[in-house]
Amino acid sequence: MLFRCSAFIATSVDGFIARDDGALDWLVPESSNPSEDYGYSSFMSSIDVVVLGRATFETVLSFGSWPYGDKRVVVLSRSAVTIPKRVGSKVNASSLSPRELSSQLAEEGLRHAYIDGGKTIQSFIEQNLINELTLTQIPVLIGTGIRLFGAVPKDVHLELVEVKQFSNGYVQSRYRIKMSNS
C-alpha cells in the first residue's frame, strides 16, 4: 500500500506562514470570502491522519474550534506535549523521525497524511516524503515572519499540477514534488 504525504498551507506573497510571534491575523484580510474554503474540505476528506509540529498544535489549540474533526492527529515533538481532553483521544504525540513515523502510519494501514507546520513540512521535504504541496498565496506582504521554506540541502524540483485564481486575489498552486533518488 502506498503512503502519501501532502501539505496544504497559506503564505503571504512574500513567503511567510506567520508573523514573528506566530500570529496569523493577516490570513483573513478584508478580501477573504467566508463562504469559500479554497479546497480545504475536499483535501481533508482525502486524508487519514494529520501530522503537525508542537508549535502549530499549540497555535491550533488557540482557535475557537478544533479544525480536524475526528481525524487522527499526531503531534511531532522532541519534548513533552500536553494534549487537552477537549481535543479527544484521536491526538497523540510522537518523537519519531518523519521517515519512521511515515513507516509506522503505513504499517497501520493509513494511506494519506496531511503534514502541517513550517518546520514539520521542511523536515518531511528534507527526507523526501512530501508527495504534493498546495500553496495558497494571500495577497498581502507582511515583511517579516516565519518562512515556510528555509535552506534546503539540495534542490527540490516541483511539477505544477494546477493553478486556481480566486476573485479575491488568492492564488492557489498545487505541485507534485519530484522525488529524488537520494
Superfamily of domain 4-177: Dihydrofolate Reductase, subunit A (3.40.430.10)
Which distant-in-sequence residues (6+ apart) come within 8 Å of 171 by Cβ? 136, 137, 139, 163, 164, 165
Domain boundaries in the chain?
A: 4-177
pLDDT profile of the chain (182 residues), mean per 10 = 90 94 81 77 95 93 86 93 86 95 95 95 93 95 92 88 93 90 58
Predicted local distance difference test score (pLDDT) of residue 168: 87
Is 170 in a helix, a strand, or coil? Answer: coil
